Structure 1
């Protein structure tokens, strides 16, 4: 029932495992287990900006909900390598993440001028003729990645690095209104000098 479709379009997912909805059984659950090859893991890693990705496994079931909707429940496991945000050294993280998705035929679409209240359930998606489990895997992995990976003992402090000849930016410089504050002080100083000259 499944087909692995190559990435032929520019916007196509780098890893695909497509199920045709018309081929799915509505009376029994459809089990799946995806284990990308080393080459496929590299393509996913490149797409997500990861130095390395290994030991990926995506296992679960698809179940019909009524006559028109489908629900996915799965477990995503992966070992990812990222750059430490402090030292740029490699950081290896094991991810174990439950994944839930629902595809519905009658998902309301918000058009210009409409005031349709969209559902709060972020797992809801519009059902089309196909369900791409590979795309679900990649999206779920991207959402599960640590935002600020750090090697053990690495701490952010006020020491900053910059290219030769460029002054490093301090924590104070990075504050949102640091530039506005400096401009305000500069204008205030100019105003005082103008008043003195009158």
Structure 2
């Protein structure tokens, strides 16, 4: 997404990190949180704050470690009632110098490309929040009806005789 269209834009020139590293604290404003809630399809992002420690690496990349804290409201998957939730996650990602392609490995932190030597820290934090959201939020005491779980089991049970015949 172009920087002028990002809901939570916090650009940082990699050259400003310096050899000793840098700490950045990002906090989303009310309009930014409302825009992120719309993007994520949830009722609200009540707060969003990230504290990031940026450390340069010898290859020109910048390693980022930090803490993401947010208060969000999601819809219960059973009752559709609003479910307030707290997000508190340690996050880590690597900002790549311009022109370097991300390497993908299961044990490596996410690698984020930069453009013109500018890292978009706000977007990186927004993506981390999206990954941290509960995919199946439930209101206290909300349970799936027994028939819903039986029907799902029945659908798969009907396929069991086909196993191994392909």
Partner of 2:146: helix, strand, or coil? coil
Residue-by-residue CA offset, 1:119-174 (whole Å, 9 max, x unaligned): 331423345421111111110000000111001111112356xxxxxxxxx71587
Q: In structure 2, what is the equivalent of residue 136 of structure 1?
A: 124
Partner of 2:65: helix, strand, or coil? strand
RMSD: 2.7
2:114 and 2:35 map into 1 onto residues whose CA distance is 26
Contact 1:108 1:118 in 2 (8 A): no
2:4 and 2:100 map into 1 onto residues whose CA distance is 28
Do the aligned partners of residues 126 and 30 (structure 1) sit closer, same or farther apart at CA in structure 2, a change above 3 Å counting? same
How many pairs are equivalent? 156
Contact 1:69 1:127 in 2 (8 A): no
Q: In structure 2, what is the equivalent of residue 125 of structure 1?
A: 112
Structure 1 stretch displaced more, 67-76 or 38-47: 67-76
1:34 and 1:126 map into 2 onto residues whose CA distance is 19
After TM superposition, list the pairs within 5 Å mapping 1:8-87 onto structure 2: 13-25=6-18, 27-87=19-79
Structure possessing the higher relative contact order (Cα contacts under 8 Å, 6 or more residues apart): 2
Flag the structure with larger Rg.
Answer: 1
Partner of 2:77: helix, strand, or coil? coil
1:172 and 1:101 map into 2 onto residues whose CA distance is 38
Contact 1:89 1:151 in 2 (8 A): yes
Residue-by-residue CA offset, 1:43-78 (whole Å, 9 max, x unaligned): 011000110111211112111011511101111000
Structure 1 stretch displaced more, 77-86 or 119-128: 119-128
Structure 1 residues not aligned, in runs of 5+: 8-12, 110-116, 161-169, 185-198
Q: In structure 2, what is the equivalent of residue 113 of structure 1?
A: none
State TM-score, norm by structure 2. Answer: 0.80
Bigger helix fraction: 2
Structure 2 residues not aligned, in runs of 5+: none
1:98 and 1:174 map into 2 onto residues whose CA distance is 40
Residue-by-residue CA offset, 1:96-132 (whole Å, 9 max, x unaligned): 00110112448557xxxxxxx8433142334542111
